[in-house]
Amino acid sequence: MNKRDTAVAELEGRIGHVFADRDLLERALTHASVGATSPKTPNNERLEFLGDRVLNLMAAERLMELRPTAKEGELSKLINQLVNYQACAQVGREIGLPEALRLNAGATKIGARDNDRILGDACEALIAALYLEGGLEVARAFFREAWISVFDELDTPRNKDAKTLLQEWAMARGLPVPAYVVVGSTGPSHAPTFTIEVRIPGFDPETAQGGSKREAEKAAADLMLAKREKDA
């Protein structure tokens, strides 16, 4: 048994389900980058689409059980904390997805195996695979166990991110809302690196990079805040 076969077996142990349909499991774990060298190889993009819908249903169902008096607005905010690529990536790491993923060598070399977006999509694809093979009960059993840590964080005070803090800093001084401009993008489509510049009139812009536009924007805002604090 090679290293990846061992990782896949360990993954099945953690999720509590051994797949009868091995092709379905392989498809859930196969990133689109593999298609760059093997165009006919099925990848997990369609499964990710289905898994996102199944995940939303299970998260909404569980929230209704746990928060019987919560209003629709509160439930909507909470579900956004449960169903997003960061939460899925967190679960993916906990169950050992990075080691079990099937990527091409180029994607692996640039760190795609630990990319939040890629892990999040693969986690949703895995949910779809569980749903297709075992039905909603099998998918739900995995979700309720795997998302325990995510539910535990629902009531944890959430610190404001750098973008929010920078906007508040600008508004307090009568300045326009910070503008974020994409000034560059490199890497393959499945694992891009974005370069973002944040601009506030009267101040030097700051530039940062990230694996998503949002990550790069936060990093640029953090640099701008650090510079303003230094100058204060």
Residue 114 is among the residues annotated as catalytic for this protein: no
Nearest-angstrom CA–CA distance, 150 and 212: 22
Annotated catalytic residue within 116, 124, 206, 217: 124
Contact by Cβ (8 Å): 59, 82: yes
Contact by Cβ (8 Å): 227, 131: no
Strands (E) located in the chain: 179-186, 193-199, 206-210
| Eight-class DSSP state of 207 | E
Annotated catalytic residue within 48, 52, 116, 222: 52
Residue 23 is among the residues annotated as catalytic for this protein: no
Contact by Cβ (8 Å): 182, 195: yes
Nearest-angstrom CA–CA distance, 190 and 45: 11
User: Looking at the annotation, which residues are catalytic?
Assistant: 52, 124
